[in-house]
Chains A and B, each alone.
Chain A
Amino acid sequence: MAREITGMVERRGMGLWLTHLLMIAGVLVIFFPIWLAFVASTVTQPEIVKPPMPLWPGDRFVENYTAALFSGVNVPVLTMLANSMVMAIGIAVGKIIISLLSAFAIVYFRFPGRNIFFWLIFLTLMLPVEVRIVPTYQVIAGFGMLNSYSGLIFPLIASATATFLFRQFFLTIPDELAEAARVDGARPMRFFWDILLPMSRTNIAALFVILFIYGWNQYLWPLLITTDPSMNTIVMGIKQMFPSGDDVADWPVIMATSILAMVPPVVVVISMQKLFIRGLVDSEK
C-alpha cells in the first residue's frame, strides 16, 4: 500500500501529463452538453435554429433567465423550483425521520413481530414507485391528494434502503453505549436524541444529499398526479415545455430552465460535500 502511494506521488513527466490529459478530455466530454445548454440559454431563438450552433455565450443572459423565472412557458420556473424544493426536502427529511425511527425500533427493541416487520420493510425494496404506481395513484386519488404537496411527498417516503443503512450503522455501535446510557438514567428516546442522533450526523448528511437528488429527479410520479400547472415540478416541467404540434419551441427559455433545474442539487452537493464524503468513507463513531 505504502509503496503504491509513493509510486503515484513520484510519477513524473509523460505519465503525469498523459493521465491529466485523459482526465481533462473526460471532463470536457461530460461537460460539453451542459456548456451547450448554457450557451443556448444566452442567445436568441433565431441564433439557435440557424446552423451552425453558437459555441460561445451570447448577450441575452438576463432577458432569457428573467423570462424563464417569472413567466416560463406554461408556469413560471420560480413556481416549479419552489414545488420541486418542497417535494425534494419533504421526501429527504421524511425518509430520514421514518427510517431513523424504524431502524431504532428494529435494532434496540425486542417486540412481538419484530422479525415480521423487518421482513415487511425488506419486501418494499422490491416495490419501487414504478411498480406500485397504479394502486398508489388510486389511494392518493381516493384521499383527495392529487395536486397537493402531500400527494407528491408521502408515497415516496417509506424507504427500506435508508432504514437498512441506519440499521447497519446502529449495529456497529457497541451495546455498552446503550447500557451506559441506561445506567446514566437515559430512557430510550433520550438515548435516541442525545446519543444515537448526534452519532449518526454524517450518515444523515450523506443520506440527505442522496435523497434530495432522488426527490428532485422524480419524474413519473409528479407527472401522474399533478394536472394543475401550478403544482408542476421542474423536472417534469421541462418536458412539458416542449411544444406539441406546430407550436414553436422557445429553446433559450427551455435551456435556461434546464440550467436552473441543475442549480439546487449542485448547491446541496457542494455545501454538504465535506459531511457527505465523511459519511460515505469513514465509520467515525
Chain B
Amino acid sequence: MATVDLDNIKKRFGTTEVIKGVSVNVQDGEFVVIVGPSGCGKSTLLRMVAGLETISEGELRINGRRANDLEPMDRDIAMVFQNYALYPHMSVAQNMGYGLKIAGLPKPEIAAKVAEAARLLQLTELLDRKPKQLSGGQRQRVAMGRAIVREPSVFLFDEPLSNLDAKLRVQMRLEIKELQSKLGITSLYVTHDQVEAMTMADRMIVMNAGVAEQIGTPLDVYERPETLFAAQFIGSPSMNVIKAEGREGGLHVGEMVLPNPTGVEGPVMLGLRPEHLVPDPEGPIEMQVLLAEPLGANTLLHGKLASGTGFTASLPGVHRVMAGEGALRLTIEARNMHLFDSETGRRLG
C-alpha cells in the first residue's frame, strides 16, 4: 500500500515544456484519474511516475521516499499499456509470470500466484494460449493480470480501454474499478474519455496543455469547475459558454437579462449546463431551435441565441420540436450558473 506525491513536477523535451508543474498527493488506496484532451501530457506525467521518462524538475515520492532516480522495477509499480504490450511469443501464464520469474521466485510460487490472478480475472481457461489467440478484451485482462500478480504498491494505467469497442469498454471499466477497490491498490489512471473519468475516479486531475486545471472529486469538478476548460471538458453535452456583462438589473446577454447571483460587474463568461435548463414560458433565455436529437431518455436541442451564439439544451423525455418552429424559452436556477473571468478563465465566486 502506498501514497504517491508529485511535487511541482515538470518535464521538458529539449526546450519545450510539456508538463508545467503538477502537484498532487495521492492517498493510499485512492483511484486518481488523469483526464484531458489528446496531447496535453497525460501519458508523459504517468510515464514519469513509472520511471520511463526522467523528471526534469520537481520531486516524486512513492510511499514518502524520493523516487526521481529509481529504475521502474525499484519503484514497486505495475503498468498497463494502451496496446497491452504483451510478449507475443509467451503464453498467457508466462506473460503474467515474467516479472516474478525475473525477481527470482521459485516456479511453484509463480504458478500459484498466476493461477490466483487468473481466477480473479477469469483467465484460467486461457493460460496456455498465446496473445494472438485472444480477443481484445481478453488481452486487456491479461495485461491487468500481469500487473496484479506482482502485488505492486501502485497501478499505473495508460488509456487501457481505448482499443476496445464501446460495450466492452463499459464492462471493463466496471471490472477494473471493482478489482481496484477489492485489492485496495493506489492507482493512477490516464484517459481522454471524461465519462470514464467521471465513473471511475475517486479524484480526478483535469489536465490541459501540461497544466492541472483542477484536482477534485468528479462531482466537485462537475458542480464547481474551477476553470472554463474544466467546465467545458467535463459533462456531456458540454457546457454552454456565453459572453455576458454584469450591469444594473442583472447579467446581460444581448437582449436577455439573467439574474446575477454574485453581483459581478463588467464582462464575464457565463456557463450553463444543457441539462440544467428548464422550459419556462416566462424564462429569461430565448433560443432558436435548429436541430433536435432524441436520445430517448432525454432530447438534445441544438440551436442559437438571438446573438448568434450556439446553444444546446438537454430536456428530459421526448420533445417533438420541429426545426424552425421558433423560439423556446428556458430558465435556470441561480445555483446552476457558473461565472468565469473573461480573461483568465478562472471561476468567479
**Chain A interface (Cβ within 8 Å of chain B)?**
174, 176-177, 179-186, 190, 194-195, 198-199, 201, 285
Contact of B102 with A183 in the complex, beta carbons under 8 Å = no
Would A179 and B85 count as touching, CB distance under 8 A?
A: yes
Q: Does B294 count as interface, using CB distance less than 8 angstroms?
A: no
Q: Mark B50-89, 1 if CB is under 8 A from A, else 0.
A: 1110000000000000000001110001110111011111
Of all chain A residues, the one with the shortest Cβ separation from B102 is: A185
The one of B88, B89, B99 that contacts A184, using a Cβ cutoff of 8 Å:
B99
12 further A-B pairs in the complex, CB-CB below 8 A; given A176-B81, A180-B146, A183-B99: A174-B85, A179-B85, A182-B51, A182-B52, A182-B71, A182-B72, A183-B50, A183-B51, A183-B79, A184-B99, A184-B150, A185-B73
Q: Is the interface of A mostly helix, strand, loop or mixed?
A: helix
Q: Is the CB of B98 within 8 A of A184?
A: yes
Complex Cα gap A84–B38 (Å): 59
Q: From residue B247, how far is it (CB to closest CB) to chain A in Å?
A: 56
Contact indicator B73/A183 (Cβ below 8 Å): yes
Selected A-B contacts with CB under 8 Å, 5 pairs: A174-B85, A176-B85, A179-B79, A185-B99, A185-B103
Instruction: Give 8 closest A-B pairs by Cβ, nearest first.
Output: A185-B73, A176-B85, A184-B99, A180-B85, A185-B102, A198-B89, A176-B81, A183-B72
Please report the C-alpha to C-alpha distance between residue A13 and residue B177 in the assembled complex, in whole angstroms: 65
* Closest residue of B by beta carbon distance from A285: B88
Distance (Å) between the CB of A180 and the closest chain B CB? 4
CA distance A52 to B64 in the complex (A): 95
Count contacts between A and B, CB distance < 8 Å.
Answer: 59
| A199 CB contacts on chain B under 8 angstroms | 88-89
A189 CB → nearest B CB, Å? 12
**Once the chains are docked, how many angstroms separate the CA of A176 from the CA of B52?**
10
Q: B residues within 8 A CB of A177?
A: 85, 87
Interchain CB contact under 8 A, B85 and A186:
no
A176 touching B83, Cβ below 8 Å: yes
Chain B residues with CB under 8 A of A180 = 79, 81, 85-87, 146
Residue of chain B at shortest CB distance from A176: B85
CB distance from A116 to the nearest CB of B (A): 21
CA distance A35 to B305 in the complex (A): 91
In the bound complex, residues from chain A placing their C-beta under 8 Å from that of B73 are 182-185
B 85-114 binary contact with A (CB < 8 Å = 1; else 0): 111110000000011001100000000000
A174 touches which one: B79, B83, B89 (CB < 8 A)? B83
Q: Which of under 10, 10 to 19, 20 to 34, or 35 or more describes the interface residues of B?
A: 20 to 34
Find out whether the CB atom of B81 lies under 8 angstroms from the CB atom of A179: yes
Of all chain A residues, which has the CB nearest B156? Answer: A183
Q: How far is the CA of A199 from the CA of B88 in the complex (A)?
A: 8
A184-B147 Cα distance, complex, nearest whole Å: 9
Q: Taking CB as reference atom, which chain A residue is nearest B89?
A: A198
If A174-B83, A176-B83, A285-B88 touch, does A183 touch B78 (CB 8 Å cutoff)?
yes
C-alpha gap A181/B98 in the complex (Å): 9
User: How far is A201 from B89 in the complex, measured between Cα atoms in Å?
Assistant: 10
Let me know if A179 and B52 touch, CB within 8 A.
Answer: yes
- A190 vs B104: C-alpha distance when bound (angstroms): 13
The CA of A195 and the CA of B89, in the complex, are separated in Å by: 8
Q: Which of A180, A190, A201 gathers most chain B CB within 10 Å?
A: A180
Chain A residues near B52 (CB, 8 Å)?
Answer: 179, 182-183
Q: What 0/1 readout, one digit per residue, does chain B (114-156) give for beta carbons within 8 Å of chain A?
A: 0000000000000000000000000000000010001000000
Q: Is the CB of A190 within 8 A of B72?
A: no
Name the distance in Å between A208's Cβ and chain B's nearest Cβ: 18
Contact of A186 with B83 in the complex, beta carbons under 8 Å? no
Chain B min CB distance to A184 (Å): 4
Instruction: Flag if B102 contacts A186 (CB, 8 Å).
Output: yes
* A201 to B103 CA separation, bound complex (whole angstroms): 26
B158's nearest neighbour on chain A, judged by CB, is A176
Which A residues touch B87, using CB under 8 A? Answer: 177, 180-181, 194-195
Chain B residues with CB under 8 A of A174: 83, 85
Which residues of A are found within 8 Å of B79, using beta-carbon distances? 179-180, 183
**B residues in contact with A182, CB < 8 Å:** 51-52, 71-73
Q: What string of 1s and 0s marks CB contacts (under 8 Å) between B278-317 and chain A?
A: 0000000000000000000000000000000000000000
